[in-house]
Amino acid sequence: MSYSVKLQNISKMYRLYDKPLHKVKEAFVRSFFRTRKAFHREFWALRDVNLDISRGETIGLIGSNGSGKSTLLQIIAGVLWPTDGAIEVNGRVSALLELGAGFNREFTGRENIFMNGAIMGISKREMEERYTDIISFADIGDFVDQPVKTYSSGMYVRLAFATAIHVDPDILVVDEALAVGDISFQNRCYRKIEELQKRGKTIILVSHDMMAVKKFCGMAILLDRGKIVETGAPNEVVNHYHKLIAEREEEYLSELNREYGNKIDKMINGQIKQKEGEGLRYGAGDARIVDYQLLNQEGIPVDVIGTDEMFTIRSRALFLRDVEEPVMGMLIKTLKGIDLVGASTVEIGKPIGPVKEGTIVTMEFIQKNRLTPGDYVMSVGVSEKTANGIRALDRRIDTKVFKVIGNSRSYGLVDFATEVRINKEICSSYQSHLRHGVH
């Protein structure tokens, strides 16, 4: 079959009881009085989810906390059964779910390794052959013979991931667990994921690390409130995720502070030069990007710049209310969405200062082009620094595609203009060895 996982109208409902006694009361009433009276509230963690995952595909599953990601993965892994719908899984599934799942905390690491192998249908002899590789990858030393309840969260994840990938799964499911490990272990895990990809394994990755989703996944799925709201290329889905988060934050702030309403649109009529449909746009609307340009070293708007050429990203923002600490920034990415370079007035240490309503601020980011020839995409934005963090006012995401042409002395995405020094000298000890016949 060409697919590893097929989900048809999957829904999952949980019964929520205000008090533990209500659960007992409901069971009693239904058993003895033959009534359907309920003492619970229904919570649907998933609603009518339809998804086909092809064999050998790497899928990134993203969404805010409580969106249903973990529930969906547990259904795929066979830990939960859906309330409605049908699921078909083709192949051996190895799942690294939330921290604490899969291991018996009273057992030692060694015992848990063999127990997990037995659960996966792997004989003890086969697991003995893989045992050395597992403990070498986990790198937890003598703790492998200690109960896992004594492990730190990092040690637990090391052993759990090492076990999960060495049972030769057809489908690997990873739910945010790698965020617990240190940088070196994360790099080791991502190298292993790349190896599994080359071997044609199916991987389902849940992560709040959007760069990892863009780098490793061929497709991304945005889950919100139990439903799939976006499916497609990782960069596009991640952009919509950021928009969704910004909108939720704005809803929260609006509830806290309603003294400011929407300004009339006539303040910006005739100011916006770019079409609304260019790229993705979101923000609170208290300021608007009314113009953005890519300028060459002569100050001329262009779509193409040369290697080693000075260029400017210029953006203009109209403020629709007084803002004490405005922030303006830019970002350059690959067409696949990998962040390459970004800067804002906060990082650079060039504060704009308080801005009055009706003011237009022009910001220019001037730099030397170190990108190698290829196609890139530019984003610009204006935000506000608040006590709760950075609040997006107007962000224009992936709004302009441009090309870099010319020659590069480097390979990859960035040319550091590397200089090389070469020094040659005679090795006197080597000459001495030759004279004495020593080789």
118-132, 175-189, 251-265: least confident range: 251-265
**Alpha-carbon separation of residue 49 from 97, 206, 231 (angstroms):** 20, 16, 12
193 plus 244 within the same structural domain: no
Neighbours of 222 (CB within 10 A): 23
CATH of the domain at 396: 2.70.50.60
Instruction: Please report which confidence band the pLDDT of residue 336 belongs to, taking 50, 70 and 90 as the band edges.
Output: confident
Cβ within 8 Å of residue 387, ≥6 positions away: none
pLDDT tens string 72-96: 998 998 888 999 999 999 988 888 7
Domain that holds residue 186: 3-231
User: Which residue among 169, 204, 231 closes a domain?
Assistant: 231
pTM across the whole model: 0.71
212 plus 275 within the same structural domain: no
Q: What share of the chain is helix, strand, coil (3-state, %, to 5)?
A: 30, 35, 35
46 plus 130 within the same structural domain: yes
Residue 134 per-residue DSSP state: H
288 plus 346 within the same structural domain: yes
178 plus 290 within the same structural domain: no
What pLDDT shows up at residue 18? 78
437 domain-assigned: no
**Residue 279, SS3?**
coil
Q: What is the mean pLDDT of residues 387-406?
A: 90
198 domain-assigned: yes
The tokens describing 274, both together, are: 């770019």
Looking at the 3D structure of the chain, how many domains does it have? Answer: 2
Instruction: Please report which confidence band the pLDDT of residue 25 belongs to, taking 50, 70 and 90 as the band edges.
Output: confident
Instruction: Please report which confidence band the pLDDT of residue 253 belongs to, taking 50, 70 and 90 as the band edges.
Output: low
DSSP 107-118: SBHHHHHHHHHH
